[in-house]
Amino acid sequence: MILDARGEKGTKAMKFRNSYHPYAAVTIIFWSLAYVLTRLTLQYFTPFSLGFLRYFIASCVLVLVAVRMKMKPPRKADLLWFLAAGGVGFFLYMIAFNQGQATVTAATGSVVIATVPVMTAILARIVYREKLRVFQWVAIMIEFTGVIVLTLIDGVLSFNTGMLWLFLAALALSTYNLLQRKLTKSYTALQTSTYSIFFGTILLVIFAPVSFQEVARAPVIQIVYLLILGTCSSAIAYVSWSMAFSKAKKTSQVSNYMFITPFLTSVLGFLMAGEVPDRGTLIGGGIILMGVLMFIFSAEKSG
pLDDT of 181: 84
Note whether residue 66 is domain-resident: yes
pLDDT of 156: 55
pLDDT of 142: 84
**Is the predicted pLDDT of residue 134 greater than 70, yes or no?**
yes
Note whether residue 15 is domain-resident: no
Note whether residue 17 is domain-resident: no
pLDDT of 276: 67
The long-range contacts involving 167-171, CB below 8 angstroms and separated by at least 24 positions, are 167/112, 167/115, 168/92, 168/96, 168/100, 169/92, 169/93, 169/96, 169/97, 169/100, 169/112, 169/113, 170/112, 170/113, 170/115, 170/116, 170/119, 171/119
pLDDT of 275: 64
Note whether residue 189 is domain-resident: yes
pLDDT of 205: 95
pLDDT band, very low/low/confident/very high, at 179 (cuts 50, 70, 90): very high
Note whether residue 251 is domain-resident: yes
Highest mean pLDDT among 34-43, 147-156, 201-210, 294-303: 201-210
Residue type present at position 239? V
Work out how many domains the chain is built from and give that number: 1
**Is the predicted pLDDT of residue 16 greater than 70, yes or no?**
no
Note whether residue 14 is domain-resident: no
Which domain, by its residues, includes 216? 23-302
Note whether residue 190 is domain-resident: yes
pLDDT of 88: 95
The H-or-E segment that residue 34 falls in is helix 21-41
Note whether residue 10 is domain-resident: no
